Amino acid sequence: MWQIFHKLGSPKWFFGISTRFMPWLLVGGIMLLLAGAVWGLAFAPKDYLQGNSYRIIYIHVPAAFLAQSVYIMMASAAIVTLVWRMKLADVFVKAVAPVGLVLTFLALFTGAVWGKPTWGTWWIWDARLTSMLILLFLYGGVIALDRAINDEKSAARAVAVLVLVGVVNIPIIKYSVEWWNTLHQPATFKLTEKPSMPAEMWVPLLLSVLGLYLVFGWLACVRMQTEILSREQRTRWVKEFVMKGRV
């Protein structure tokens, strides 16, 4: 059991195994995204209230969904970093934090673009938008702290503490922002209710979400590999890899 665990933590092992399944992640992800996009954009029915503008959800929802789950993934990896000091876990956190930031930004941006025709304004202090904005700040903090600390191990552990503090706060932030929102603007805008969405609308959405997950997995692997190479540059296997092009 422990051996498997240690093997999982070995950057070299990860490098080898990830190279093998990365193409599958990318191909699968792109196919799912394409399927979701074509189905969602061309074939799904118009929304009876919003017309065609709702179709941005095929980008917005997957981005928002993933932006939040990436933080949860980072928090799980942070626990592994602090408890078992597994190298791969902090490589993961460092590699995916900027991806999470970009996804959060994408969710906010598409939200704003969607808001313009729907609410008539680019930005409103809607509970969901506001929590996403705060999530953006949290990602920004994680990246800033990581950049500020020179020593790689200290950076990894400090970031892990910050990510965990953040993850404890996320539900509190979400809850308080929702409460704040009802206090200030009682239910002015309502999006289409999820359960009432017909299958032709949500199945392509599901495909897009899954597709983005796979593409995210691929991107995480690429970034982790880059990080591993730079960290282990003086080890023999990296030198051999650079010379021969394989592990």
Partner 1 sequence: MNAEARPAVRLASSSVGALAAMKGVFARDMKVAFRQRQDLLNPLLFFIMVVTLFPLGVSPEVSFLSEAGAGILWVAALLSVLLSLDHLFRHDFDDGTLEQLVLQPQPLFLLILAKTVAHWMLTGLPLVVLTPVLGVMVHLDGNSIAILCLTLLIGTPVLSLIGAIGAALTLGLRSAGVLLSLLIIPLYIPVLIFGTGTVAAAAEGAPVGAYLALMGAFLMLALTLAPFAAAAALRISLSNG
Partner 2 sequence: MPEPLLQAVNLQCERDKRILFRELSFSILPGTVTRVEGPNGSGKTTLLRMLAGLNDAWTGELKWCGSPVANQREAFLRNMLYIGHRPGIKPLLTPMENLRALMAGRRSVPDAVFRQALQGTGLTGFEDVPCRNLSAGQQRRVSLARLLIADEPLWLLDEVFTAIDADGIAALESLLQQRAAEGGAVLVTTHHDLALPGMHKLILGAGGVSDER
Q: Which is nearer to partner 2, 151 or 193 (CB)?
A: 151
Extract the tokens encoding 197.
């969405």
Q: Which of 27, 49, 83, 161 binds partner 1 (CB under 8 A)?
A: 161
Tell whether residue 152 is a contact of partner 2 (CB under 8 A): yes
The answer to whether the beta carbons of residues 95 and 223 sit under 8 Å apart is yes
Reported for 96-99, long-range contacts at CB under 8 A and 24+ positions apart, including other chains, are 96/70, 96/216, 96/220, 96/223, 97/139, 97/142, 97/143, 97/146, 97/159, 98/139, 98/143, 98/223, 99/70, 99/216, 99/219, 99/220, 99/223
Position 163, amino acid: V
Position 5, amino acid: F
Q: What is d(CA 71, CA 86) in angstroms, rounded to the nearest whole number?
A: 18
* The one segment of 14-22, 118-126, 127-135, 151-159 that binds partner 2 by CB under 8 A: 151-159
CA 92 to chain centre: 12
Q: Which of 6, 46, 116, 153 binds partner 2 (CB under 8 A)?
A: 153
CA 94 to chain centre: 13
* The one segment of 22-30, 148-156, 181-189, 213-221 that binds partner 2 by CB under 8 A: 148-156
As a dihedral over the C-alpha atoms of residue 190, residue 105, residue 98, residue 103, rounded to 10 degrees, the angle is 50
Burial track 48-75 (b if 16+ CB lie within 10 A, e otherwise): eebeebbbbbbbbbbbbbbbbebbebbb
Q: 82 touches which of partner 2, partner 1, none (CB within 5 to 8 A by kind)?
A: partner 1
Q: How far is the CB of 190 from partner 1 (least distance, A)?
A: 22
Q: How far is the CB of 88 from partner 2 (least distance, A)?
A: 16
With tokens 């199945």, the residue in question is: 203
Q: 152 touches which of partner 2, partner 1, none (CB within 5 to 8 A by kind)?
A: partner 2
Tell whether residue 193 is a contact of partner 2 (CB under 8 A): no
Tell whether residue 147 is a contact of partner 2 (CB under 8 A): no
Q: How far is the CB of 83 from partner 1 (least distance, A)?
A: 11
Mark 167-206 with x for binding to partner 1 (rule: CB under 8 A) and - for no binding: -xx--xx-xxx-xx--x-----------------------
The answer to whether the beta carbons of residues 114 and 127 sit under 8 Å apart is no
Tell whether residue 239 is a contact of partner 2 (CB under 8 A): no
Tell whether residue 150 is a contact of partner 2 (CB under 8 A): yes
Task: Please report, as ranges, the residues that interact with partner 1 according to CB under 8 A.
Answer: 82, 134, 137-138, 140-141, 144-145, 148-149, 151, 154, 157-158, 161-162, 164-166, 168-169, 172-173, 175-177, 179-180, 183
Task: Please report, as ranges, the residues that interact with partner 2 according to CB under 8 A.
Answer: 150-154, 231, 234
